[in-house]
C-alpha cells in the first residue's frame, strides 16, 4: 500500500545547476528536503521503500563521457517524539535501506553527489512508500447498556484504514442480536436487541483489525 509520495524534478546550485558553480566555486553535493514530516501518531513499525528516476548531465561536450561520476541517495531521520511538537529530537540523517523502521516521525531528504565538475545528477521523479503493518485493537467485558443511541466504542489508537470488527457477545439469549453502526477508523457504535427489537444490556468483547495512521 502506497501511503506517501513525494515527487521532484530538480538539479542543484545557485545558478540552477548542481555543479555549475558560483564565482569559480563548484558544489559537489546538494540536498533536497521533503516539505513535510511524516507522523504515524504513535511509534509503529513501517516498511520503507522508494523509487528514484535519475540521469546524468554533462556540460563539456568535448570531454569523453565519464561513467559513475554522480550518485543520489535517499536519507531518513526518525524520532519517537511528536514531530509537530517543536521539541522533537530526530536521529541524524542516514542512507535509506529498504526495510522496516520503528519510529513515530520520519523526515526524508535526497542527497546528490558528483565527483566531476562537468557532470551533474538530474532527478526527474522520487517516490517514497510507507506501508504500515496490520495491527489489532481489542477490549473485553464491555457493557452495551440500554441507550437508544447505542454504546459508542472509541479505539485506544485510531486506525488509518480498518479491515473489520469481530464481536463476541457473552450473555445473549436465543433470538437476540446486535447491530454495528457508525463504523469509522476511530471506533463504532453497537446496540444489542431482543428478537422484538427491545434494546437490552449485554456484555461483549470486540477485536478490530486494520492498518496504522499516517499524517504528512
d(CA 18, CA 23): 14
Query: In the block, which residue shows the cell 526527474?
Result: 124
- Domain span at residue 44 reads 29-132
Residues 128 and 145 in one domain: no
Looking at residue 170, what DSSP letter applies? Answer: S
Sheet holding 203-211, edge to edge: 134-143, 203-211, 161-169
- Is 0.85 topped by the overall pTM? no
Residues 90 and 151 in one domain: no
Final residue before a domain boundary, out of 116, 132, 148: 132
> pLDDT tens, 113-141?
888 777 778 888 888 888 887 889 999 99
What percent of the chain is modeled with pLDDT above 70?
82
Cell reading at 179 = 447491530
Residues 6 or more apart in contact with residue 191 via CB below 8 angstroms? 144, 150, 151, 178, 179, 181, 199
Residues 128 and 151 in one domain: no
What per-residue confidence (pLDDT) applies to 8? 37
> pLDDT tens, 148-167?
999 999 999 888 888 999 99
What per-residue confidence (pLDDT) applies to 123? 83
What per-residue confidence (pLDDT) applies to 65? 52
> pLDDT tens, 44-53?
888 898 988 8
Other beta carbons within 10 angstroms of residue 192's beta carbon come to 25
Burial class (CB in 10 A: 0-12, 13-18, 19+), 100: exposed
Final residue before a domain boundary, out of 76, 101, 132: 132
pLDDT in tens, the chain (216 residues): 233 333 333 334 444 455 555 555 557 788 888 888 999 888 888 889 898 888 887 766 545 555 678 888 999 999 999 999 989 999 999 999 988 999 999 999 999 888 877 777 888 888 888 888 788 999 999 999 999 999 999 999 888 888 999 999 998 999 999 999 999 999 999 999 999 999 999 999 999 999 877 765
Residues 182 and 115 in one domain: no
Residues 83 and 176 in one domain: no
d(CA 137, CA 125): 37
What per-residue confidence (pLDDT) applies to 17? 53
In a domain, 68, yes or no: yes
In a domain, 21, yes or no: no
Residues 105 and 171 in one domain: no
Final residue before a domain boundary, out of 99, 132, 165: 132
Residues 112 and 50 in one domain: yes
Residues 122 and 194 in one domain: no
CATH code, domain with 128: 2.60.120
CATH code, domain with 159: 2.60.40.2080
What per-residue confidence (pLDDT) applies to 196? 95
- Residue 154's DSSP bridge partners are 187
Residues 6 or more apart in contact with residue 46 via CB below 8 angstroms? 40, 100, 101, 106, 130, 131, 132, 133, 212
Classify 127 as helix, strand or coil.
strand
What per-residue confidence (pLDDT) applies to 3? 34
Amino acid at each position: 500500500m502506497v501511503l506517501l509520495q513525494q515527487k521532484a524534478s530538480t538539479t542543484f546550485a545557485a545558478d540552477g545547476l548542481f555543479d555549475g558553480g558560483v564565482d569559480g566555486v563548484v558544489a559537489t553535493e546538494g540536498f533536497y528536503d521533503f516539505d513535510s514530516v511524516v507522523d504515524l501518531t504513535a511509534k509503529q513499525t513501517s516498511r520503507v521503500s522508494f523509487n528514484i528516476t535519475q540521469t546524468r548531465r554533462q556540460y563539456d561536450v568535448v570531454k569523453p563521457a565519464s561513467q559513475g561520476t554522480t550518485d543520489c541517495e535517499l536519507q531518513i531521520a526518525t524520532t519517537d517524539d511528536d514531530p509537530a511538537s517543536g521539541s522533537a529530537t530526530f536521529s541524524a540523517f542516514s542512507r535509506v535501506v529498504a526495510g522496516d523502521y520503528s519510529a513515530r516521525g520520519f523526515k526524508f531528504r535526497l542527497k546528490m553527489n558528483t565527483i566531476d565538475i562537468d557532470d551533474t545528477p538530474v532527478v526527474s521523479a522520487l517516490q517514497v512508500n510507507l506501508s504500515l503493518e496490520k495491527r489489532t485493537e481489542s477490549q473485553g467485558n464491555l457493557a452495551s447498556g440500554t441507550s437508544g443511541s447505542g454504546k459508542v466504542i472509541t479505539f485506544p489508537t485510531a486506525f488509518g484504514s480498518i479491515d473489520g470488527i469481530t464481536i463476541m457477545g457473552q450473555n445473549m439469549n436465543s433470538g437476540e442480536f446486535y447491530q454495528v453502526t457508525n463504523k469509522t477508523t476511530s471506533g463504532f457504535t453497537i446496540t444489542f436487541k431482543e428478537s422484538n427489537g427491545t434494546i437490552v444490556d449485554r456484555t461483549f468483547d470486540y477485536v478490530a483489525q486494520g492498518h496504522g495512521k499516517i499524517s504528512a
